[in-house]
Chain A
Amino acid sequence: METLDFIQLDPVNGIYLFIVGFVGGLVSGFIGSGGAFVLTPAMMSLGVPGIVAVASNMCHKFPKALVGAVKRARYGQVDLKMGLIMGLSAEAGVLTGAHYQELIKQRFGDVGSNLYVSVAFVTVLGIVGGFVMRDTIRAHRLGTTEEEKPGRLAQWVHGIHIPGTMVYFPSLGRRISVLFTIPLGFATGLLAATIAVGGFIGVPAQIYVLGMNSLMASATELVIAFVMGVGGTIKFAWSGYVDIRLAMIILAGSLFGIQLGAIGTTYVKPYVIKLVMGVIMLTVMVSRALVIPVYLSQLNWLPPMAPETMHLMKSVSFSIMILALFLGAGIILRALIQGRRAANAATPDLVADPAT
């Protein structure tokens, strides 16, 4: 086994990881996913080797997802059966995605691998994020922000009966074929292995393909993330790549965040979850689109770029990625504060005074 250089931890690095972990946890607790994508580059910026950063990120994600799932299950938002079925198929997607990654790395090296990841980011986030955002804006314009109804695709899925594959899911209040949930779980895992956030497919798929409401979909995604995270952590820890100190420091911040994010879901209208997801996805898409020319240039598929320009574009890209996370967190905190004020005004005894 190769010898790994684990970094020396100092208080400044610790506080930095704690804060990024908190903001990431807040987003994950609210939309079920999407808070961890910035952690791998954040750790690498401290000098942590890439594989250790990925492994340690994974090791903080599964306990975070567990705590978030338990919390949101108490609010009646989790469909455990759906989470486990999709989680297991996502595990297969993770293994397949990791295999593709290895093949691309062998064929095109680190730059080719980075290009593949960035193109996947831009394509998936552009299409799915654009769709989520369009749906959110339309719901806001039509004033249909209070309740969500299954769309045409979900209604079609509900109408399909394939003998021997039908399973009852409490979140849908009906039986649907697992031949729909398994590929969606697989795609979630595939994306998780590629861009570290499977929920950018998992949550919209549960909403638009299966017809689940946003609250249930984002909460159930935490179960999927837990199942994927345990499997991924074992895979990386088997090779000794996990830096447990880094993982637990990030977890320290993210558990504060995930509790707050989960509480926030009880104060907002369901469309706010889509809004946060759409904003994060589209901002991250811009961030990753910026570095694609850099990788194309390094592969000599575009004219060479000055090292200073490459460095600048990578720095701007990383800053926009952090901005995406903080934008999402800002919307969540604003919605939480407004929701608490409204609830407080309606029933002062319930919210303002915990002693009652």
Chain B
Amino acid sequence: MVNHWTPIYLKKNQKFEFIDELASGSIPALILKKAFSLKTCKKIIEKILDFNYVSNGPGIEKKIGVSLNSFINQKGTYFEKTRFIEKKLERYFPYNEDPRTLMQNILSTVFSMETRIAKENNSNYSKGVFRFHGTNESFKIHRDSAHYEAVGYQVSKIPLQFSAVLHLQPAEYGGELVIYRKIWKHSDEKYRTPYFGYSEKVVHDIESIKIKPETGDIVIINPIHYHAISKIKGKHYRISTGFFFAPTDEQTLTCWA
């Protein structure tokens, strides 16, 4: 029997009971089709493109929001910047309009669990990052693992993590998410490249799938699988927002970025 490695598609409020299969990698991705309407995504894009506090980070030229990997050795700065940016974003997105909060609510429904933002010493972790990929940009092969990378942060004690990304504006051409059927292992560190990601050698001859996201889709993966974004072509940015989450007890999904 051929073992097809294909994503599972759900409607926005459908329940998903196979989180273990997603964790183990027997399902490469869970896609919540049209979780956000085109109209809502357009409104979010208009607001976020008007936001002044744009930064860059490992592997990305333009983003809004704070991510752990930019502050691996600067925990104080990470929480300070998170407080600053989240306060600014609150002005743009009142509580029930922040797409990251709305995503959390959707995850609560899909997984039948409560969601909460991770906290450390009374400081909230970042709620998520908006990413902008311009034409000719791609995103190198990488894997995400706070457990390995972010030692010193409380979230590194969580052994498993998922990634949830809402696609607000897909690339005109390209910009597909490529997921490889290979889980990172410690000895792969020899394939690391300076600044960000891994050499393509790490996924040589490995099966992969491509996901072409559509506006409003939420794509959930176990990001310990190597993944990349193919080259973006066309006039406009590929815009997405997302965060990591993990079950921290039977009832709770903890989120961070």
Chains A and B bind each other: no
A: residues with CB less than 8 A from B are: none
